[in-house]
Amino acid sequence: MLKKRPLKGTQLMISYQNVTLKNKSFNNQNLSFSDFSNSILHSCDFSNCDLTHSNFSGATLSNCFFSRANVDQANFRHAILDTCKLDNLKNVQSALFLKMSCPEAGPFLAYKQCHNFRIVQLLIPKDAKRSSATNNTCRCSKAKVLTIKSIDLKTSYKEAVSLVDENFIYRVGEMAIADDYNEDRWVDSTHGIHFYMTWEEAIGYM
């Protein structure tokens, strides 16, 4: 159900929260502060829209068009972006969860949790493929295992078992290579070595 809630001045916050929309055109409209959270949007057109401070968190968007939209401070956390057109976005660097959560180039350190709460420190090499969708979880094609430690850092281990594949073992000093790697950045739960950028996030997983 469409709802309008007043903000300061004359701006209205339009709420499409928890709705299903198909083939809806918003082209060139001012949708700043609008709420599309947890909605299902198929083939909707947001081209040239002002989406400043809009909320798409948890939304499922398939074949939607965002060309040249202003996404300043727009929130896409946990949104599913399936074959959406995202070219020439304005202020994309200030949008929430559209930027990569890991460095796009060069080597860097990362962390993941394995069975028995073992935390693996990884070195993602410069030639590894890497991506993130619309949350803090990242994926890569390969990573070198630097250390494996207990959460309290008191115990070190030589190996750790993946939480999703008991046959995938991380061993200190060895390169872990994903059996496959999905090139689609916007798919989260798929092939690749999953990791977080911080120790704290890895501990908080599950």
**CATH level 2 (architecture), domain 1-99:** 3 Solenoid (2.160)
30-45 pLDDT, tens per residue?
Answer: 999 999 999 999 999 9
Global pTM value: 0.87
Domain boundaries, the chain: 1-99, 108-204
Q: 179, 180, 110, 115: which is closest to 145 by C-alpha?
A: 110
User: Is it the case that residue 155 has pLDDT exceeding 80?
Assistant: yes
Give the residue carrying structure tokens 């499922």.
60
- Quickly state the pLDDT bin for 6 (edges 50, 70, 90): very low
Average of per-residue pLDDT across 114-125? 97
- Quickly state the pLDDT bin for 10 (edges 50, 70, 90): very low
- Quickly state the pLDDT bin for 3 (edges 50, 70, 90): low
Cβ contact 70:98 at 8 Å: no
- Quickly state the pLDDT bin for 12 (edges 50, 70, 90): low
Distance CA 157, CA 119 (A): 10
Q: How far is CA 122 from CA 88, 113, 173, 176, in A?
A: 34, 11, 10, 9
